[in-house]
Amino acid sequence: MKVLVIGPGGREHAIVRSLLADPNVSEVHAAPGNAGISKLVPTHAIDANDPDAVAALATKLTVDLVVVGPEAPLAAGVSDAVRAAGIPVFGPSKAAAQLEASKAFAKEVMAEAGVPTAMARVAANAQEAADALDTFGAPFVVKDDGLAAGKGVVVTNNRDEALAHAQSCFDAGGTVVIEEFLDGPEVSVFVLCDGRNTVALSPAQDFKRIFDNDEGPNTGGMGAYTPLEWAPEGLVQEVIDRVAQPTVNQMAHRGTPFVGVLFVGLALTSRGTRVIEFNVRFGDPETQAVLARLKTPLGGLLMAAAKGELDKVQPLRWSKETAVAVVVAAENYPDTPRTGDRIRGLKKVESIEGVHVIHAGTRLDDEGKVVSAGGRVLAVVALGTDLVEARERAYDGVELVQLDGGQFRTDIGGKAARGEIKVKTAGAAATKAKA
């Protein structure tokens, strides 16, 4: 099987790495890729957000499957163009990608499907925003309704700050979704979908804020670990039964079947499991950790999803080890990151047992040296017999990465390793766990 992977980031590097380990995958290409990906497979310098360019490349390369990584090409209709060219594609249509591209649309589908989520209101002007904020009270949650790379959400106790964020979205011509605040730990569950059937991957936890102890602004994600020893038994089944399957059924019913990965962002609140958001692609950097543990060959799995054959796949097989991914970001991320700096020490990092490096914002300079080219530059991914060992290995690796101004969180998986995460949920998962 020949596969083309679309996207430039860490998620795509992790996908390429796993595809190369699939015995049935004979050839992998990527577009546009990054410095790490280009060391593994041929890369093609096309605009990944241009549906015609991607379809033309897939046709020229005579690939059997196209895997679309990020949300932007999905929202631009890349999957539709590839499908129209007669090539199986893992990734939702433009219409189905609205589950991520519009938070208001996602809320509508969740309501239709009876999926538990935060109460929310759409606001289009300052008065509506103020009313909604006062309805739900503090802490205030204000979300830009469009795609914002994980950075369009402000959670604050300061009403003025909440209003100011809403105003900046209105000024940019957009609307906002204002929600009730959800307490409790957050979980990311990736559910493979083929339009009808669903298969969940092992849950992970992401760290959205830039600084330790969840301080500072939101980012795309600063690190992740999996599995979650502390998660209630039955959580994955609850996500399938109450969230993913009803959503997939509803999308099919609407005539916009969902094919690809439904990324369910959850809060395990004191009132039960609630969906925080849907994304329509693998999470980054959760994928770097999740795929490090997946033993079932990835190519066959993604092809089964693309062809509507997930009901034929065997139960997934997982490594017993724990995986941790720690992101090294550029100076000044998530604001305008400084780029163009040399990155050194990566060979030494990979000489640590159980450790590999996944590139995100990197490129090769004119001399063929690896330099930074984005906000999140790379992730050090480590496997260990438990979370304590995986963290030690990951941080031993991070210490060896040389990048001027590089920043990373020191507490990825820390609370979980110390047994400090408590789920107060009264939801079905907790009840089942006791039964």
Question: Alpha-carbon distance 374 to 406, whole Å?
Answer: 12
Site mask for ligand GLY (CB under 6 A), range 211-250, x = bound: ---------xx-----------------------------
Is 283 one of the binding residues for ligand GLY (CB under 6 A)? yes
Question: Alpha-carbon distance 80 to 96, whole Å?
Answer: 10
AA letter at 8 = P
Is 389 one of the binding residues for ligand AMP (CB under 6 A)? no
Residue 3 — φ and ψ, nearest 5°? -125, 140
Burial 292-321 (b: 16+ CB within 10 A, else e): bbbebbbbbbbbbbbebebeebeeeebeeb
Is 29 one of the binding residues for ligand AMP (CB under 6 A)? no
Point out which span in 17-25, 36-44, 63-71, 181-189 binds ligand AMP (CB under 6 A): 181-189
Point out which span in 49-57, 70-78, 177-185, 362-370 binds ligand AMP (CB under 6 A): 177-185
Beta-carbon contacts of residue 88 (< 8 Å; ≥ 6 apart): 64, 65, 66, 303, 306, 307
Measured from the CB of residue 180, what is the shortest distance to ligand AMP in angstroms? 6
- Which residue minimizes CB distance to ligand GLY? 221
- Confirm if 8 and 73 have CB atoms less than 8 A apart: no
Is 200 one of the binding residues for ligand AMP (CB under 6 A)? no
User: By three-state DSSP, how is residue 305 classified?
Assistant: helix
Interface with ligand GLY in residues 196-215 (CB under 6 A): 206
Give the residue, chosen from 31, 41, 58, 118, that forms a contact with ligand AMP under the rule CB under 6 A: 118
Is 341 one of the binding residues for ligand GLY (CB under 6 A)? no
Burial 14-53 (b: 16+ CB within 10 A, else e): bbbbbbeebeebebbbbbbbbbbbbebbebbeeebbbbeb
Nearer to ligand AMP, 151 or 348 (CB): 151
- Confirm if 176 and 145 have CB atoms less than 8 A apart: yes
Instruction: Please choose which of ligand GLY, ligand AMP, none residue 221 contacts, taking the beta carbon within 5 to 8 angstroms, the exact cut-off set by kind.
Output: ligand GLY
- Helix 298-306 and helix 10-20: axis angle, to 10°? 110
Residue for token digits 């550029």?
330
Residue for token digits 């939101």?
218
Q: Count residues contacting ligand AMP (CB under 6 A)?
A: 15
Interface with ligand AMP in residues 309-368 (CB under 6 A): none
Measured from the CB of residue 222, what is the shortest distance to ligand GLY in angstroms? 9
Measured from the CB of residue 155, what is the shortest distance to ligand AMP in angstroms? 5
CB-facing half-sphere around the CA of 190: CA atoms within 13 A: 26
Interface with ligand AMP in residues 275-304 (CB under 6 A): 276-277
Measured from the CB of residue 330, what is the shortest distance to ligand AMP in angstroms? 21
Nearer to ligand AMP, 10 or 185 (CB): 185
Point out which span in 132-140, 280-288, 360-368, 369-377 binds ligand GLY (CB under 6 A): 280-288
Measured from the CB of residue 224, what is the shortest distance to ligand GLY in angstroms? 7
Question: Alpha-carbon distance 411 to 323, whole Å?
Answer: 15
Give the footprint of ligand GLY on this chain (CB under 6 A): 150, 206, 220-221, 279, 283-284, 286
